[in-house]
Amino acid sequence: MPELETTVGPRFDWRPNPKPLPAAEREAGLGSAAFGTVFSDHMAAIDWSHDKGWTNRRIEPHGPLNLSPAAAVLHYAQEIFEGLKAYRWEDGSIRTFRPWANAERFARSARRMALPQLQLADFVGSLEALVQADSAWVPTGLGSSLYMRPFMFASEAFVGIRPARSVSYLVIASPVGSYFSGGLASVSIWIDTEHSRAAAGGTGAAKCGGNYAASLLGQVKAQENGCEQVLFLDAATFSQLEELGGMNVMVVTVDGTVLTPPANGTILEGITRASVMQLVRDRSMPVIEQPIELRWLLEALASGQVSEVFACGTAAAITPVGRLAGKGFDVTVADGAPGPLTMSLLDELTGIQYGRLPDKHGWTTRLI
Ligand SMILES: *Cc1c(COP(=O)(O)O)cnc(C)c1O
């Protein structure tokens, strides 16, 4: 079995796909596909068992899994995931953004869901190996990238209740086109005052599928009310902003202060959130992590004290919010158009990710 070199961690066995997608079809998929619908030729995989630990590091053809219908994940949702992107730079290299932070968060999520912790070097090594195998799948072009989805789940065939004794770790990859296509549009947000996604002591800070399952009905309600995304409030009082289904939220006041809800265990601590906070501080502007009362926000929008609201996460980087609606209110944020700080932070963050701006904080990591 040939091996794939990785600069970190143990090597991965290389089982090439005997039927990779023909180049013409791959190129068609690179440009036009809707997010998360087209997948590269390979996937990375590592097995874990209670007795043997982590074994069988490999790159193999992307394809259906052989899974028992009794696999614990299908019954009890013992599962976690990550999301990060590979960017093609003009110098020909392929880089990713803060993968060690994702690796650490993956280990924290694993601990919360009673899953085994993957070595950080195996996490980053699996990304390197997969991108080596599927480098042709990393698109060129402004704003496009290869989205990488590491995940881990309880694969043991056992419907009793305890942490699984066999677990699978996989990474699949999907090319994503430019989020600039069609220009940067503000999104409308429905504030859900009925359902919450996470409570104190729960799993809100873990990146697990169950949190998303809990957020889907809120997302459906948002769409029924003519909004694109849902924003959840704290489960205890339904009065403070928490986050969107899959993005963190930030509020900008007219005097240039950026406010964001604190990471107190019920929100997911986004790596984009942390990076944006650093970029704001680099501009000598204050960033304050503090509870944001919905009632205060609505008054501050009405009085003009809040001038911008945006959401942030790996998938879309930074998304301006133009409208906030919920039971009994419907307001535009300033004039509804993307605000200047939002746009300038988006430029700076993506500039670093694509190598167009200097990487002062050492956030980018070379995969090839
Ligand atoms: C992944 C995720 C985010 C964003 O995290 P990034 O590390 O910035 O991609 C925010 N909220 C939730 C619920 C998430 O799952």
Task: Give the domains, in start order, of the chain with CATH numbers.
Answer: 3-178 (3.30.470.10), 187-353 (3.20.10.10)
Buried b / exposed e along 168-187 (16+ C-beta atoms within 10 A): bbbbbbbbbbebeeeebebb
Question: Residues near ligand 1 with C-beta < 6 Å?
Answer: 83, 207, 243, 246-248, 268, 270-273, 313-314
Phi, psi of 132 (to 5 degrees): -60, -45
> For each of the chain's 368 residues, which pLDDT tens digit applies?
778 878 998 999 999 999 999 999 999 888 777 789 999 999 999 999 999 999 999 999 999 999 999 999 999 999 999 999 999 999 999 999 999 999 999 999 999 999 999 999 999 999 999 999 999 999 998 789 999 999 999 999 999 999 999 999 999 999 998 765 556 899 999 999 999 999 999 999 999 999 999 999 999 999 999 999 999 999 999 999 999 999 999 999 999 999 999 999 999 999 999 999 999 999 999 999 999 999 999 999 999 999 999 999 999 999 999 999 999 999 999 999 999 999 999 999 999 999 999 999 999 999 99
**DSSP states of 133-179 as a string?**
HTGGGS--STT-EEEEEEEEEE--B--SSS--SEEEEEEEEEEE--T
Report how far residue 177's alpha carbon sits from residue 352's, in angstroms, rounded to the nearest whole number. Answer: 18
- Cβ atoms of 309 and 250 closer than 8 Å: yes
Write the residue with the smallest CA distance to atom 5 of ligand 1: 270
Q: Widest CA span of the chain, in angstroms?
A: 67
Q: Which of 247, 275, 345, 346 to mutate to test the pocket of ligand 1 (most atoms within 8 A of CB)?
A: 247
Of 80, 112, 264, 268, the one to substitute when testing ligand 1's pocket (max ligand atoms within 8 A of C-beta) is 268
Pocket test for ligand 1, best of 79, 196, 207 (most atoms within 8 A of CB): 207
**Does the pTM of the predicted model rise above 0.85?**
yes
CA-272 nearest atom, ligand 1: 8
